[in-house]
Structure 1
């Protein structure tokens, strides 16, 4: 592949992006698609669309770009929470560092690579891409000092920017924690591994244990129940309650329905039904008498009188048997993943081992398509595969087909295979037993990150070397040389992968093809007319964070070896900055968040990318017979690892635990202002296991707050630009 072919590929991908971006600017104006492209805003307001016919709806415009660009960080924090701001900070960090890297490498390193050997140069567009890589530098050249010094500057700038980003995000997390200390999760502890007793139910056992050992701080508790039978009982109870209100208040029924979160399981009270016991005294006459005991799980949510007491209980070993009375900080009510709370704690370690083995097996399985992709990239190695598959011999010899095989097809095949990985890893994270939705998504993010780094980077890197040894009769002494030269030689594949996977993924993110298909299936196949029941999506951190970090790894490792990839990466990061800001503001609803815990993943991944780059440089300088430049890599690697250890000691504890000083001061303030009793009264009704509304609502709305007979007031949907569909208030 030469430079003109790369520019042609970039032009084609640019045209595709322009077409899809223009299509998005038209689709977002259609009133019928407001649920797809404005789900985040519609989740907070009840509206319906109005369908006027006006010409501007079918004319592409760039107003959404200006809206996304002008949005402040406070608006993003309100719309997407701290996790969204942290993700966008990772994109901004990538823009900053790779702008510096591009300036250094495009104006200093590329000219040295281009004139690294005495040779006759043709026109730049006709030059092969290998001329612009470090592979064109002669062995023992004194210019390798420039590459070594450039890597020092790049590593120093990356660490400097990481340090300041860590400080800013740590401050934002502390502010978020301080402002959310009134949340019920800070008073709540999740208890699992409750021992079985022949004399008492699980509820009675929990009450006796915490009344005995936490007598001064224990408030009450709420049991976790098996979802199947209890959910059916609650559904019958809810239907009966609605029927009761329909007869008693037929006019008000259409305006103010009794909230499902006032069910007995939530700790609230209802006017005509008994409340299911979730306090210290077990009641065996509710919903089937003593049979309820068999529906309880060996898990409970225990409420304490102060935040500090809950913090101490969640971080302490409660019993001499570590597999019983296991305590953890409780997630937020909307963040609890109830299905996994009933999983016996004693078998979780077996699940984790099984998931670990299954994840490794999946990575090994994916080496097969990676080797296939590399066989297509390296056309001169197809001769070895033709001996295995003679039927393809005639196809490989055609020039047009060879260009397709070595150009678009490899990156497209790999991209399609990579789309299957994240859903599987997400399923694995569910089986692991995560107690919260945010922890499940964060666990899936780490698995997907390892998955794509190994298969996209190391898998292509190693499989290319294997195919190279198949195509040539190489002895063992040449293997290390071939491995060290693999990164600059693989640059052309990584360039096309950035365009086909990176640019194309952003276009698909805007268009939301799966959301469109689901909406049309929901509306026209299932024929649901009520759009308010159309579900909104949460931001897919487990796919987008690994993709951004993978491109960061490609940028660092190719920086001084194959700098032509840097402009393509900068285009991706600038587009990602605009696209993701728009999606966070308009599309994705924030139902739960982790409080910025994605930043340590970004930090460690960046340090890993820097160390891998420095190790590759160590090998390349050794192959180029520059012993001095190679020896200077050791201090850089050690300094990078020491910087990472300092950040781990300085910042990571803030992201792991809550400071006791903060919660004690908050407890004292609430006790002085007499707010503690009010908080205690709301705790039993804060967690509702069997209500989806309960998990999605930010604040409980009591039934008594609705004014019967006077109508219900709704606010208008604000903040939409003039290209957005016209919206009216639902009566």
Structure 2
């Protein structure tokens, strides 16, 4: 890619960012858009619609930037919990390491690269027509002593990143423990999930659970709730909820259509009253739900799973960590999630079925990853004009136009790849949901891992090798050649990844602020909604946004010594993300669950992977550049990095898996001083009852549902 193509991409994306920021600063002031730009504030009642008109609404302003900037970490903790703090810490952590790397890369490495003469001399009179390769390590002559500057930079930046990783891991671990101590008693701290409960011919599953745990934990066992099959009941309840909303609309809005014909498309047949029709249908659903609830309550097999609650956190942790039975595939225990975090459809009847579902998900993930190579190859084809002219001869005359060729090579490839990547997070959430996880938070955490490694493979590795002559399977069959092949392929794609940071980073972040999809959906739904209709406050999509930041972290770490020109664009993205997401935390998102910072080990492992990958590339680069001593001296660095990672894994990771006995006992000893514990135990007994087995709530203004549904 030439400089002019990159400048075209930067210009287009800068214009889009300015447009999105300007539109946001105007549209957020309009009362009709409060559900889009301030749903959290509306739900909390801290933001009221102002009906009076004033010109200030139509004038763009940047006051929201100052509010977002002043938001403290403790305020983020109160708004989004520790998970929100972890995400902001990830951005600030990335800003620190790439500011440090940027100083070295821009002030030292970039001049060294430009002063090299391995490629044609840089033409200062025609900057825009020069290749971006002139700014990379490729321009340094083989065997040049200047390569020792790059060698020193790799060691220096690796040391700094490891120091910052240790510091952040230690800080977030301390915050996690502090968060635990300061939190009130939570049901999931006293509860475990037991699956694969063995069948007994002499008693029910409920009796088996009670007798089993009373025998093992006679002084600390409190209660249990057997899990039922309720997917059919839940679908009926959803249908009843929709009918209730429709009846309320018919009663409250005189303009609503009250009648329709019973025949084809509502055009023929007898005339019926819609309100009476819906109320009658609602009564039928009520009877069906009663019947299904009774059958679920009397079911013998159930799901062979139960939530078991104890009188102390330490007792629950002991029951979780010590396998209760001799047979390891029976009485399988897991930590219970928060009651509102439970993913009720997850329960499988057998250990084997859950194992098979995980295997199927792995196969589907691999197939999907392979199929995604098709758009990656298409995208890389767009970066090569000669290849495009060969494949599409009729485009030859168009491709000779300078601006068109710059847009196609500089902007279009990364845009197309970004559009294809939009479908990845929902697919990974679906795959994780059928994998047997017990909570929404575990599903999202698993989806975060899948999205991360999917993008690393398909955005980084597939792009690197499909865009070079190294599109060969032999790279996996000959591990010894991997460093040298990466050394050739990775620098060749520097220009594409710079454009990708601009397109996927700058524009996607500003579009997150503008919230174009919710805005369009709101405009479509508005004519059909009344003022009393509920709106849902969205939760933050960690599975989508954490992998994006980590992918950019991988690009910044691997390219800082190869093509340091990427670092300023990366820092601009991180600054935008810092302001935009703080603003969104303040106005838009609300937490639906809390993992207490369990996303940070994913961040740590990704950074370690990026460092080791950079070291492997450095080994190949210095060997390729005929500096064998530097290549040899680079070999200990990944070993030291992996040893550092192993230390962090031993030192900090256990605190993210489960709380220590010391912490649990200390917290338990505080409970007798809490006068609300009796009330808490009373609520704990019913905390994990399936919502589908609760009495249906009659919709407002309807007299049809006079009696509640039976609950088990």
Q: TM-score range by the shorter chain?
A: 0.7 to 0.9
Is the alpha carbon distance of 1:120 and 1:238 closer, same or farther for their aligned partners in structure 2, counting shifts above 3 Å? closer
Is the alpha carbon distance of 1:98 and 1:286 closer, same or farther for their aligned partners in structure 2, counting shifts above 3 Å? closer
Tell me the alpha carbon deviations over residues 559-598 of structure 1, each in whole angstroms, 9 at most, x when there is no partner: 0111111100000000000011111111011111211011
- How far the C-alpha of 1:231 sits from its partner, in A, is 4.7
Pairing of 1:109-128 with structure 2 (within 5 A): 109-117=109-117, 120-123=121-124, 125-126=127-128, 127-128=130-131
Is the alpha carbon distance of 1:410 and 1:290 closer, same or farther for their aligned partners in structure 2, counting shifts above 3 Å? closer
Tell me the alpha carbon deviations over residues 114-170 of structure 1, each in whole angstroms, 9 at most, x when there is no partner: 111176432173432111110001111011000000111111111111111111111
Pairs aligned (count): 640
Match of residue 485, structure 1, among 488, 491, 497: 488
Q: Which moves more between the two structures, 290-299 or 229-238? A: 229-238
Per the alignment, residue 67 of structure 1 pairs with 67
- How far the C-alpha of 1:422 sits from its partner, in A, is 1.1
Mapped contact 1:317–1:326 kept (Cα < 8 A) = yes
Is the alpha carbon distance of 1:469 and 1:655 closer, same or farther for their aligned partners in structure 2, counting shifts above 3 Å? closer
Tell me the alpha carbon deviations over residues 478-533 of structure 1, each in whole angstroms, 9 at most, x when there is no partner: 99866422222211111111111111111110111221123233322x334324x1
Is the alpha carbon distance of 1:627 and 1:234 closer, same or farther for their aligned partners in structure 2, counting shifts above 3 Å? closer
CA distance in 1, matches of 2:563, 2:439: 42
Is the alpha carbon distance of 1:217 and 1:238 closer, same or farther for their aligned partners in structure 2, counting shifts above 3 Å? farther
Tell me the alpha carbon deviations over residues 246-275 of structure 1, each in whole angstroms, 9 at most, x when there is no partner: xxxxxxxxxxxxxxxxxxxxxxxxxxxxxx
Pairing of 1:560-579 with structure 2 (within 5 A): 560-579=561-580
Q: Which moves more between the two structures, 345-354 or 228-237? A: 228-237
Tell me the alpha carbon deviations over residues 336-380 of structure 1, each in whole angstroms, 9 at most, x when there is no partner: 111213554431111111111111111111111111111111334
Per the alignment, residue 19 of structure 2 pairs with 19
Per the alignment, residue 86 of structure 1 pairs with 86
- How far the C-alpha of 1:399 sits from its partner, in A, is 4.9
Secondary structure of 2:218's counterpart equals coil
Per the alignment, residue 433 of structure 1 pairs with 436
CA distance in 1, matches of 2:635, 2:532: 64
Pairing of 1:232-243 with structure 2 (within 5 A): none
Secondary structure of 1:449's counterpart equals helix
Pairing of 1:211-610 with structure 2 (within 5 A): 211-228=214-231, 230-231=233-234, 288=294, 292-294=298-300, 296-341=302-347, 344-382=350-388, 386=391, 399-466=402-469, 483-524=486-527, 526-531=528-533, 533-610=534-611
Tell me the alpha carbon deviations over residues 516-563 of structure 1, each in whole angstroms, 9 at most, x when there is no partner: 123233322x334324x1111100001100000000111111101111
- How far the C-alpha of 1:641 sits from its partner, in A, is 1.1
- Report the TM-score when normalising by structure 2: 0.84
CA distance in 2, matches of 1:306, 1:146: 58
CA distance in 2, matches of 1:549, 1:499: 15
- How far the C-alpha of 1:236 sits from its partner, in A, is 12
Mapped contact 2:8–2:407 kept (Cα < 8 A) = no
Is the alpha carbon distance of 1:408 and 1:213 closer, same or farther for their aligned partners in structure 2, counting shifts above 3 Å? same
In the alignment, does 2:699 pair up with 1:662? no
- How far the C-alpha of 1:390 sits from its partner, in A, is 5.7
Secondary structure of 2:299's counterpart equals helix
Per the alignment, residue 618 of structure 2 pairs with 617
Mapped contact 2:122–2:134 kept (Cα < 8 A) = no
Pairing of 1:115-194 with structure 2 (within 5 A): 115-117=115-117, 120-123=121-124, 125-126=127-128, 127-180=130-183, 182-194=185-197
Mapped contact 2:230–2:296 kept (Cα < 8 A) = no
Mapped contact 2:484–2:623 kept (Cα < 8 A) = no
Per the alignment, residue 724 of structure 1 pairs with none
Mapped contact 2:502–2:569 kept (Cα < 8 A) = yes
Secondary structure of 1:317's counterpart equals coil
Tell me the alpha carbon deviations over residues 17-54 of structure 1, each in whole angstroms, 9 at most, x when there is no partner: 01110111111111111111112223333876232111
CA distance in 2, matches of 1:379, 1:237: 58
Is the alpha carbon distance of 1:625 and 1:287 closer, same or farther for their aligned partners in structure 2, counting shifts above 3 Å? closer
Mapped contact 1:193–1:346 kept (Cα < 8 A) = no
- Report the TM-score when normalising by structure 1: 0.82
Q: Which moves more between the two structures, 294-303 or 584-593? A: 294-303
Q: Which runs of 5+ in 1 are unaligned?
A: 240-283, 471-476, 695-731
CA distance in 2, matches of 1:162, 1:480: 25
Mapped contact 1:202–1:293 kept (Cα < 8 A) = no
Pairing of 1:36-75 with structure 2 (within 5 A): 36-45=36-45, 49-75=49-75
Per the alignment, residue 208 of structure 1 pairs with 211
CA distance in 2, matches of 1:366, 1:183: 43
Per the alignment, residue 270 of structure 1 pairs with none
CA distance in 1, matches of 2:455, 2:235: 42
CA distance in 2, matches of 1:348, 1:512: 38
CA distance in 2, matches of 1:522, 1:71: 33
- How far the C-alpha of 1:172 sits from its partner, in A, is 0.5
Per the alignment, residue 643 of structure 1 pairs with 644
Q: Which moves more between the two structures, 5-14 or 69-78? A: 5-14
Per the alignment, residue 76 of structure 1 pairs with 76
Per the alignment, residue 267 of structure 2 pairs with none
Secondary structure of 1:413's counterpart equals helix
Per the alignment, residue 628 of structure 1 pairs with 629
